[in-house]
Amino acid sequence: MLRLFSWNVNGLRAILKKDFCEDIAKLDPDVLCLQEIKLQEGQTDFQMEGYYDYWNYAEKKGYSGVAVFTRREPLAVTRGIGIEEHDREGRVLCLEFPEYYLVNCYTPNSQNELRRLPYRVQWEEAFRNYLNELAKKKGVILCGDLNVAHNEIDLKNPASNRRSAGFSDEERAEFTKLLESGFIDTFRYFYPEQEEAYSWWSYRTRARSRNAGWRIDYFVVSQDLEEVIKDAKIHSDIMGSDHCPVSLDIEI
């Protein structure tokens, strides 16, 4: 059994000053995917003993970025999706293993008043095409902060957030298109009716203490991996970021 974890750490250097290392030791992941690391090459000497590590940094300092730590060495590593306008922000890291591709993603936020929504929709189409091309070759495991609460069950206050970034009709429709193209939202696969299961809470409103959250962190797999996924969890008891880790157990 392999256990994969994904966590938006909202700044790796910041979370390293908290209980991050102790938390990761307890989780004991086979693969750990991080998003929003907010650093450049050489700005941290953080390593995990016994793991290979791979990084994709944004061109802009202190912004975005993803990393993967894996006990098993991949066959190949790719940074970005091969489209320059989408690859400047360090949002995608793909590791190829013999049985599957692992794609770690930090999806662009549509921002206040949805001012970046047009770009977000362009990104979604390009990224979906990228995933579907991978899926033609072998199974795909996508994880990360996908910056969308898919359905009303996936956030505390759907009515008041209808035109908020992460819950616009357009963003939700793009996630539906991804699933309809041959992918599975693993948490909802195992827990289709579970309410108040969130992975992000706003710092501004002290939302975490009230569990007024959103489920925007995912493990999504191509349908040909359906038989090997065994469980998906949200680890809301783990602090340190405005997001909590999510995990997927697979039997490969």
Catalytic residues, by residue number, are 106, 145
The contacts of residue 218 (CB under 8 Å, 6+ apart) are 6, 142, 143, 144, 146, 185, 186, 187, 246
What is the edge-to-edge ordering of all strands in the sheet holding 66-70? 52-56, 66-70, 31-35, 2-8, 246-250, 229-234
Residue 132's H or E segment, with its range, is helix 117-135
206: left (phi over 0), alpha (psi -120 to 50) or beta: left
3-state secondary structure of 195: coil
Residue 31's beta-bridge partner residues?
Answer: 4, 70
Cα separation, 217 vs 144, in Å, equals 6
Neighbours of 46 (CB within 10 A): 17
Cα separation, 229 vs 56, in Å, equals 27
> Is the CB of residue 90 less than 8 Å from the CB of residue 56?
yes
Closest C-alpha to 199, from 185, 178, 184: 185
The contacts of residue 13 (CB under 8 Å, 6+ apart) are 38, 39, 43, 44
